[in-house]
Amino acid sequence: MSARWGKPYHDHRDWPRYNESLVVRGEFYLDLGQFRTWDQELAVMNRGKRGGRYLIPESFVRWLVIWKQLIDYRGLEGITRKMAELRLIPTYPDYTTLWHRLHRLTPALKMPKYSELELASDGTGLKTSNAGEYRIFRYGDPDARQKKHVGGG
C-alpha cells in the first residue's frame, strides 16, 4: 500500500478476474479430425525423452501457430481450455507452455528447385529503427523514418 497525496491508496483491481477475462473471450467451431492420433504422436515424442514428458503433440502446436497470427497466447489458452472442456482434446497447455513450445519450433521450409529466383520486396512497412515514437516526435531523429528497400532480379 502506498500513499497518494497523503492518503493511503488501496488497489481495488481484481487481477485474477482480469486475467481470466483475457483468457475467456469467445467460441467457434472446428473440425478436429486430424488430432485422432494425439496419443500415438505423444508416445513417439516421449520415447527416450529425459525430464518432463510432452503433454501436447507437435502437430497440435503447429496448428496453434496458425491461430497465433490472429490471437494472443491467453486467447489460445482459452480456446484450448474450451476444447479440453468439451473433451475434444485430452488436455490444454497454459500460455507460458504455448510460448515456449511455439518459440522452439523450427519452420520446415521447402525451397523451390529453380536455377534462378526473382525477389521483390515492398519496404513501406519495414521499420528500421527501434526508437520510441514519442522520443522521435519530441526530439526528432532523421534516420528513424528512413525506408529501406530490397530488390533483386
More confident residue, 93 or 131: 93
More confident residue, 10 or 151: 10
Mean pLDDT of 105-113: 80
Question: For residue 43, what pLDDT is reported?
Answer: 93
Question: For residue 150, what pLDDT is reported?
Answer: 54
Beta bridge partners of 3: 8
Q: Is the pLDDT of residue 77 over 60?
A: yes
Environment class of residue 103 by beta-carbon count within 10 Å: exposed (0-12), middle (13-18) or buried (19+)? exposed
In the chain, domain spans: 2-104
pLDDT, one tens digit per residue, over 23-35 is 877 666 776 777 8
Any idea which residue has 477475462 for its cell?
21
Phi-psi region of 140 (alpha: psi -120 to 50; beta: other; left: phi over 0): left
Percent of the chain with pLDDT over 70: 75
